Amino acid sequence: MKRLLLVDDERRMLDLLGLYLEPYGFQCDKVLSGHKALSLFKTYHYDLILLDIMMKDMDGFETCRRIREITDIPIIMITAKDQKQDILRGLKAGADDYITKPFDEDIMLARIQTQLRRGGKEQNVLVYDRLIWKQDTYQLLYLDKEINVTPKEFQLIGLLMKRPNHVYDREHLLELIWGSDSETESRTIDSHVRNIREKIRQKGFPIDKHLKTVWGIGYKWVS
């Protein structure tokens, strides 16, 4: 069963989407804000996101941009806006497709199925010098031997590996992995990176070649 995340600040729209999609075998999680959507990615794996643009707390453009920092799963924006600049802005933020309201249900279903076929071809596997990160099975391996890391350590190294050469500051990493309402201190990132380096180094992988400290800012993964 494919799991979809529906994001809209109107409960009625969420209920309508779920009412239409669930009979087709989709499991639909419904949230009323972009912040809530981001927090769910730390707990669940989703196959596709339906995302409204006009939301009060954090709009769909910003939500889409932040989601793209975490995952490459398909995002379809659903919006009343059909102006060219809004469509382009959504696509530039990382959306894969868009549907304007009022939408035809059959066309919406067809577009969802198209994106799911494309997304299904993407491997949730990252490989660097025989270090393998497997999202679906929560495994980190080197030379086919598993490296035991905590869930937070696994998320942290996966986030860095997904965007090689991109510098993340500590506060941003903290928000992406622990959540915006977390009271955890930013130095927690340093201790997790230290643990990751030690665990991977013990298995013989040249971690210091890839996981770099950007002094005064944060960390990056060098490909």
What residue type is assigned to position 21 of the chain?
A: L
pLDDT at 179 over 70: yes
Q: Which residues of 176-215 are buried (b: 16+ CB within 10 A; e: fewer)?
A: bbbeeeeeeeeebbeebbeebbebbeebebebeebbbeee
Identify any residues that bridge with 146 across adjacent strands, giving them in sequence order: 141
| 8 A C-beta contact, residue 212 and residue 159 | no
pLDDT, residue 42, reads: 67
Q: For position 80, what pLDDT does the model report? A: 76
Q: What is the DSSP letter of 105?
A: H
**Do residues 86 and 64 touch, judged by C-beta distance below 8 A?**
no
pLDDT band at 93 (very low <50, low <70, confident <90, very high): confident
pTM above 0.75, yes or no: no
Tokens of 211: 């996981």
**pLDDT score, position 120:** 55
Residue predicted with more confidence, 14 or 223? 14
Helix (H) or strand (E) holding 78: strand 75-79
CB within 8 Å of 212: residues ≥ 6 apart: 219, 220, 221, 222
> Would you call 65 exposed, middle or buried from its count of C-beta atoms within 10 A (0-12, 13-18, 19+)?
middle
Report the pLDDT value the prediction gives residue 182, as an integer from 0 to 100: 67
Distance CA 66, CA 64 (A): 5
Residue 50 has pLDDT above 90, yes or no: yes
Residue 44 · residue 20 · CB < 8 Å: no
Whether 121 shows a pLDDT value over 60: the answer reads no
pLDDT band at 78 (very low <50, low <70, confident <90, very high): confident
Write out the two tokens for 21: 């999609």
Instruction: Name the average pLDDT for the chain.
Output: 87
**How would you list the strands of the sheet with 131-134, edge to edge?**
125-128, 131-134, 139-142, 145-146
The arithmetic mean of pLDDT across residues 18-43, rounded, is 89
d(CA 162, CA 180): 21
Q: What is the pLDDT of residue 28?
A: 95
Average pLDDT over residues 42-60: 87
Closest C-alpha among 81, 56, 51, 83 to residue 66: 51
